[in-house]
Structure formats: C-alpha cells, structure tokens
C-alpha cells in the first residue's frame, strides 16, 4: 500500500493543481507563521529560492511531525523583481502599489516543493518562471483590481494567471505549474517512484 | 463600442481558456470539415505550423462571413513527432496506439490563432511547445486510459494537461496556453489594441 498523501497547505490554487492531476490526498494547513520566518531569513540575506525552499520545508516538516507514516507535501512561492522581494499584498491598496512596481518589468517567481516523512525532509525541488508585465497605466490597474477583487491578495504577485491576471503580461517563460505555485512534474515523478500515481489512484 | 467577439470553435478547453481571461464572447462551431482540409494540405507537403494556421484561418473566416461586424477568433492545434503528424484519435484503441508512439519521445504541439473580420483574416499567430513523454509501459497507458476515458479522444495528443495527462510527461517546454491550444497572450495583446480587454469587459 502506498503511504497516504497530505498537502501541507491552505492554498486553493495548489490544492486545485494537485487535485486536477487525479491524485488522492488530504490538505492540512501547517500553521507556520510565514511572516516571522521570512523576516528572519531576510535578515540572513537569504535569496528568493532559499526562502521559498525553507518555507516549503518548514510547512512539510511541521505537518509531517504530527502525521507520521504519510508523505507530506509543502510548497511556497516567492517573487523577486530587480532585487526586491514581494509578499502577498495585505490590502487592495498594497496590491495596487505592487502592480505599479512590477508593471513594465520582468520578475522571477520561485516555487519550491518539499516532501517530508516522519518529520524529516526526503526530497525537494525549486525552480522559477520569468514573467514580464505590460507597461500598465494606472487606470488599467484600477480596472483590473475592481474586477479581480480581494482574491488578488491571496497571491504573492497580486495576480492570478488562471484568471484575469493574463491581461497584465506580455511574456511568461518557464514551467506553468511552477508559475502557478507548484512544480508539478518533478513532484509527480518523485511520488511515482514511491508508488503514488496513476497506477495507485482508484 | 468594441466589436462583439466570437470564438469559432466547439472546443471546451479553448472556450474555458478564453472564458477564464474574463473576456465576453460567444462560441460558434465553424462547421469546417477539418479532415478533408488536412488531407489536401498534407498532399501539398504542408507542415504542422502551416496546417494549424490554415485550419485556424478557415474556421475564423467561415464564421466571420456569416457574422460581419464582429471579431472572430479561429484556432487549431497540430502535433508532430519525428516527422509524423498525429490527429485526434477516433477511438480509445487509437489513443492507445498514439500514446505508445509518443512515449519516451519529444513532440511538438503547434497552436495557431487567427482573427477575422468581414470574412477576411486580420491577424494571425502560431507557436509551438515541446513536450517530452515518459517512457511509459503499456500497463501504465492502459491505466491512464481507463481513468481518463473517452475525453482523451477530444485532444490531438490523447492527453489533457489540465488533468491526468500531466502524469505522462517528464518535460513541458513553451508557453502553457499554447500547449493547451490557444496562444492567449498574443491574442489578448491583439484584442487590447482593438479596444477589447479588461478595460471594456463589464
């Protein structure tokens, strides 16, 4: 019997991606205070890749310690533009500032995924996509935010590429699953090697 | 007032992609006999890119002639692997043969999009993604087909990357919207220049 699979995340888009692949899993938020961890990593001069990986690991290990004998997936995404790290915008006003800062520029979106078992990291992977935003006028950003609404605050970039967010971009390079927050192909490959995949799902 | 927008397609995945972007449009199947056109293009030694573009144009122009004063979008995808063109598999048995032929290899998936008005092509764009399939055992293909079912016959590659199909791949390169059948970013850019976009949608 393959081990039960747990996604240590409350993110609807990651749950959606994993669900679409047909795998059976349950989702459990990790309860990790991401902000506190991120601040201490930043104080240590960690980069976007390191922060995403550290947070993904922390979430996976935290849930895994509570749930031994399961494979626990943790994931995190960070966004960096010209050396500046961006966070999920707390409010629509913050989202507006963020989009103004990203408009007309190329940013990197890093997504990391970690699998843990019995409280220990077994595997990890991180990669990034490069996204170039159109040189957006303020009026366009305002229309976008009026239509997209509060949901943009759930995304590190204040945009959702599965939805209205595509209008903001001139170019999206890199693996799309990674850009959506979960490097799915390497994760599925790791899981397949542990007997979890198409073959086992009912 | 921007022109009404029509998608000349019965494809659920293209409708889904365009719908998710928040644009207002209606969908009308073109009624083009794709198979006949494809055979005559093949007889003229047309390549994957030319065939996708010709079929996208034919669909757009056909619907546009019936619906003047609208912008009509036509799209088509073709798949080529080591010089061989693949079509939508008519049956699950054909899908099985196709997946056996693609397994362990890299193929190109071309997607073309054309916009027509008053029966004339205004704009077109074609690009391709490169997809590498895992070296799948027959038993894995059979399990995939049992789970995915008849829906695979609606796709030129006998797989749906939005669903179980991700399990078949080791690598997906290129724009994801293109791989899903509609190069969305260049299309949205063209439409924005014609006053159709975030700014006009209600």
d(CA A7, CA A63): 9
| Number of domains observed in the structure of chain A | 1
CATH of the domain at B187: 3.90.950.10
Q: Is A202 near chain B, with CB under 8 Å?
A: no
- Residue A175 distance to chain B (closest CA, Å): 7
Q: Nearest-CA residue of chain A relative to B140?
A: A199
In a domain, B48, yes or no: yes
Backbone dihedral angles phi then psi of residue B105, each to the nearest 5 degrees: -120, 165
Residue B202 resides in a domain: no
In a domain, A57, yes or no: yes
Interface check for B19 against chain A (CB to CB < 8 A): the answer is no
User: Does a structural domain hold residue A198?
Assistant: no
**ipTM of the complex in this document:** 0.87
Q: Does A176 touch chain B (CB under 8 A)?
A: yes
Tens of pLDDT along A69-110? 999 999 999 999 999 999 899 999 999 999 999 999 999 999
- pLDDT for the residue A1: 78
Domain extent for A61: 5-193
- DSSP state string for B34-96: HHHHHHHHHHTT--HHHHHHHHHHHHHHHHHHHS-SSEEEEEEEEEEETTEEE---SSHHHHH
Whether A199 is in a domain gets the answer no
CA A35 to chain B, closest CA, distance in angstroms equals 31
| Domain membership flag for residue A149 | yes
Range A160-167 average pLDDT: 91
Question: Averaged over A151-168, what is the pLDDT?
Answer: 91
Determine which of B185, B194, B200 to mutate to test the interface with A (most A C-beta atoms within 10 Å).
B185
Residue B200 lies in a domain: no
Tens of pLDDT, residue by residue over B117-171, are 999 999 999 999 999 999 999 999 999 999 999 999 988 999 988 899 999 999 9
Q: Say if B81 falls within a structural domain.
A: yes
């Amino acid at each position: 019997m393959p081990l039960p699979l747990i996604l240590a995340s409350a993110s609807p888009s990651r749950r959606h991606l994993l669900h679409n692949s047909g795998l059976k899993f349950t989702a459990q938020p990790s309860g990790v205070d991401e902000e506190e961890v991120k601040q201490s990593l930043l104080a240590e001069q960690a980069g976007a890749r390191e922060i995403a990986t550290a947070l993904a690991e922390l979430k996976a290990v935290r849930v895994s310690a509570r749930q031994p004998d399961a494979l626990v997936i943790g994931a995190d995404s960070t966004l960096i533009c010209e050396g500046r790290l961006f966070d999920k915008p707390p409010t629509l006003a913050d989202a507006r500032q963020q989009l103004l800062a990203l408009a007309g520029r190329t940013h990197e979106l890093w997504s990391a995924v970690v699998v843990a078992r019995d409280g220990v990291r077994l595997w990890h992977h991180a990669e990034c996509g490069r996204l170039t935003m159109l040189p957006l006028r303020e009026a366009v950003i305002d229309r976008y935010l009026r239509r997209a609404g509060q949901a943009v605050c759930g995304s590190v970039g204040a945009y959702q590429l599965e939805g209205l967010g595509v209008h903001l971009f001139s170019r999206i390079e890199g693996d799309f699953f990674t850009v959506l927050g979960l490097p799915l192909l390497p994760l599925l490959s790791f899981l397949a090697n542990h007997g979890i995949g198409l073959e086992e799902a009912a």
